[in-house]
Structure 1
Amino acid sequence: MRDVCLTLPTNRACADTITAIGAEAAHAVRRFGVRVHLLVLDSADPATRARHAAALAALPAVEGVVVHHLDEDAQRAFLREAVERSGAADPDRLLRLMLPDALSYGACTNRAFLLAAALGCASVHRRDSDSSYQLLDGEPVFPIEHELATLGLKAADAAAAVTENRLDPAHADKPVALVGASFVGELSVDIGEIRELDPEVYHDVVALWAPTGASEQEKRELVADSFTGGGSEPFTADRAVLDLPDIWHIDMCNIGLHHEVYERVPLPPATDTIGSDYFLHHLVRDATLPGVTHNRHIVNYYTPERRTGPGFTAYQLRYAKFLLSMLYLYPVYSDMETAGGALLDEQHRVRPEAIADSARRSAATDRAENHRRLAELDRCYRRLGGKYADFADRLAPLRARLLDEAQADIEDFAALIDAWGPLVRAAKATPADRSPR
């Protein structure tokens, strides 16, 4: 029986989402005959975790669905044992990169990858706490339908399970490495209010994540395509395309990844940085691994705390750090795109050494562009006024620290890639948890 990991990392109340994901797990068992490890990585406060535990306990018992609900103490215990078993030269640093004190989208997903390896899973399927499923005739539209139908199959065999095959026959013998779709609803990055307040400022703020030297036309196209997901049309019928994956229309709330990808290269563990969990999208596509892009889009929404007070400040800081991270990620993306299929070995497996070397070189990139990004972000937020101007005041004294952190983040990523292979092997010999339901 194939084991798969359906995971929900969360730090907020989401009992309804847990119930919905439990239904998706049950559907996967019935439809595909797999064993689903429903893995909830819970960083919420104790009272919220208790509500999550109650939601998991209330799920209908389904043979083949195994629930794992791990708080940060349980995650840390697993990680500490795996790190020690891996023989890492700097175990304290590695543990910090896997479970940092601050929020990290990449690190929480890396923990899911390691726990999936410990559970013997062939794939990881990630959902988010601030999302739900579309309905068709009153029934939820589960993305795992496409993920399990094709993920890991040789592309030539997966072609029978899609509605369109655009893949170059040269890639037909490679495995399907990524299956995903996007979302409908609110923007994936919570800056929609800026667009409503001042479309020109919105353009300038979003254009800041364009590569150095991008033309005005390229910036306009980037702004038009960014953070909008799958549009607004509701799901009515399946569309699934086999090709190199359309990574601009695949989001981390709606993705399945084959173990041969995430067991070779982790995600950047940057803290307080949105978008740090999208690196493998680029790697799969640039390495010429096949993927399936479908239209079972998740419904995305935002919880109110991101728009007022400390929640607003924290989220806008994450956006600023995202912009700074691109200075170092774009050179890596460029290297991967240039390398193409050379990123794979003879068995179509990713060569992690090339990625680590590129990340290390990128750390030496001149910071001038990031100085410009911070200055432009300051100008934009002050033009908006109100809470955005207040945030600009908060951001100004943090500039030097943020510039240093962005460089340290790419250095940490290179170090984590170096340690990743031994850590994955160690995780496979480490008990994931001792009380699955």
Structure 2
Amino acid sequence: MQRVCLALPTMRSCPGTVVDLAEEAAYAVATFGVEVHLLVLDTTDDAEFAKNADAVAALAPTPGVFVHHLGNAQQREFFRGVAERSGGADPELLLDLMLPQAVAYGSCVNRLFLAAAALGCTSTHLRNDDADFQVVDGEKVFPIHHELLSIGRPAGEAAAVVSRSELDAADADMPVMLVSGSFLGELNVDIGEILELDPAVYRDLVRLWTPPVWSDEDRDAMVDLSFKGVGAEPFDADESVLGVPDIWNVYMCNIALDHRAYEVLPLLPSIETIGCDYALLHALVHSQSPGVVHNRHIVNYYTPERRIGAGFISYQMRFVKFLLSMLYLYPVYGGMIDHGRGLLDEKHGLKVEPILDLVRGSVDWDRAGNEHCLDVLDRSYRKLGGKYAELADVVAGKRQQLMDEAQEDAERWAVLVESWAGMVAAARAEGLRPGLDGAAG
């Protein structure tokens, strides 16, 4: 029986999301006859954790659905065992890369990947705690429907279950490595207020994350596409396309990934940095691996603490660090494009060696680009005034630290990529032991 992981990382109370995902898991079992491991990795404090735990405890048992809810202590125990068993030279560093003492979007997804390996799952289906499913005629629109139709199957077989195939006939034996929908609702980076306040400043800021070698026209076109998903386009009827996806049509919070992808390349373990969880998608797209893009989009929204006071500063600093990270990521992505199918082995799986070489080669990149980035940010935020001027003061006070951290994040990613195969093997050997994972079915 196919065993899959429906995965939710969370750092807040989200009992409604837990219930929604349990319904999606039950739908998957009933429709596809799979075994679903609903995995909630929870880094909330005691009070918030208890709310999520109550939601898990209240779930009706469903044959074929196994629920695992791991808090901080359980995660630390498991990942310490994995780090020590991996054969890495510095288990404490590896544990810190997996469970840092700060928000790390890539690290939380990496934990999901290793836990999925420990559970023996062949695919991981990622969701988020600040998104809802669309509802049509009283029924929730579950992305897992399209995901389980195709993920991991030979592309030639998947061609029979999609609305349209753009597959090259020569690629029929290649596995479908990703299946993704997009999102509607709010921007997936919370900078919509800047667009409302001053569209010109918004354009200047978003241009900072575009490849500097691009023409002005191409950079402006990217500004128009960035962070917007499908706008307000609601679900009407199923549509799906098989082929090599465009990177703009895949979304990390509405995606299924085959284990032959995420067991090779981990995401960046960057601290307090949004957008660091897309490197794996770039590797799959640029290697021209087959994927399916569908229209069971989720509805993105933002929780209010990100827009006022300390929460505003904290979130916007993560956006700043995202912009600085691109100095080190674009050389990697460009190299991936150059390698193309050379990123794949004879079995059509990702090869780690060329990617690791690219990551190592990026860490000493000239910082002049980030000096310019911070200059534009300072000028732009001060032009907006108010809380954005306060943000400019915070950024200015941490200017050197921010550039140092961006380079350190690239260096830490190289360490993790090099250690990843050993950690995956260790996770499989370690397993999620009864009593550790709180499994229920």
Shared fold (TM-score greater than 0.5)? yes
Aligned counterpart, 2:195: 195
Q: Which amino acid aligns with 1:345?
A: D
- By how many angstroms is 1:431 displaced? 2.6
Aligned counterpart, 2:240: 240
Aligned counterpart, 2:228: 228
- The DSSP-based 3-state class of the residue aligned with 2:146 is helix
- The DSSP-based 3-state class of the residue aligned with 1:429 is helix
Aligned counterpart, 2:150: 150
Q: Which amino acid aligns with 2:213?
A: G
- By how many angstroms is 1:246 displaced? 2.5
Which segment is superposed worse, 363-372 or 245-254?
A: 245-254
Q: Which amino acid aligns with 2:196?
A: E
Deviations 1:40-89 (A, max 9, x none): 00011111111111111122210010000001111110011111111111
Aligned counterpart, 1:381: 381
CA contact (8 A) 1:178 1:245 kept: no
Report the Cα distance in structure 2 between the residues aligned to 1:17 and 1:327, rounded to whole angstroms. Answer: 35
Q: Aligned runs of 1:278-357 on 2, under 5 Å?
A: 278-357=278-357
Aligned counterpart, 1:424: 424
Report the Cα distance in structure 2 between the residues aligned to 1:5 and 1:218, rounded to whole angstroms. Answer: 38
Report the Cα distance in structure 1 between the residues aligned to 2:40 and 2:108, rounded to whole angstroms. Answer: 11
Deviations 1:229-271 (A, max 9, x none): 1221110001100011222122111000000000011111111
- By how many angstroms is 1:432 displaced? 1.6
Match of 1:436 among 431, 435, 439: 439
Q: Determine whether 1:126 maps to 2:129.
A: no
Report the Cα distance in structure 2 between the residues aligned to 1:323 and 1:143, rounded to whole angstroms. Answer: 30
Q: Aligned runs of 1:342-421 on 2, under 5 Å?
A: 342-421=342-421
- By how many angstroms is 1:433 displaced? 4.0
Deviations 1:108-161 (A, max 9, x none): 000000000000000000100000100111100000000011000000000011
Count of aligned pairs:
437
What's the TM-score once normalised by structure 1's chain length? 0.99
Aligned counterpart, 1:13: 13
Deviations 1:340-378 (A, max 9, x none): 111111111111011111111111110001000001011
Report the Cα distance in structure 2 between the residues aligned to 1:237 and 1:303, rounded to whole angstroms. Answer: 29
What CA RMSD, in Å, does the superposition of the two structures yield over aligned residues?
0.8
Which segment is superposed worse, 58-67 or 293-302?
A: 58-67
Aligned counterpart, 2:37: 37
Q: Aligned runs of 1:81-160 on 2, under 5 Å?
A: 81-160=81-160
What's the TM-score once normalised by structure 2's chain length? 0.98
- The DSSP-based 3-state class of the residue aligned with 1:184 is strand
Aligned counterpart, 1:56: 56
Aligned counterpart, 2:266: 266
Q: Which runs of 5 or more structure 1 residues have no equivalent in the other structure?
A: none
CA contact (8 A) 1:356 1:415 kept: no
Identity across matched positions, percent: 55
- The DSSP-based 3-state class of the residue aligned with 2:398 is helix
Report the Cα distance in structure 1 between the residues aligned to 2:167 and 2:327, rounded to whole angstroms. Answer: 32
- The DSSP-based 3-state class of the residue aligned with 1:428 is helix
Report the Cα distance in structure 1 between the residues aligned to 2:250 and 2:301, rounded to whole angstroms. Answer: 16
- The DSSP-based 3-state class of the residue aligned with 1:235 is coil
- The DSSP-based 3-state class of the residue aligned with 2:430 is coil
- By how many angstroms is 1:214 displaced? 2.4
CA contact (8 A) 1:266 1:420 kept: yes
Q: Which amino acid aligns with 2:132?
A: S
CA contact (8 A) 1:207 1:223 kept: yes
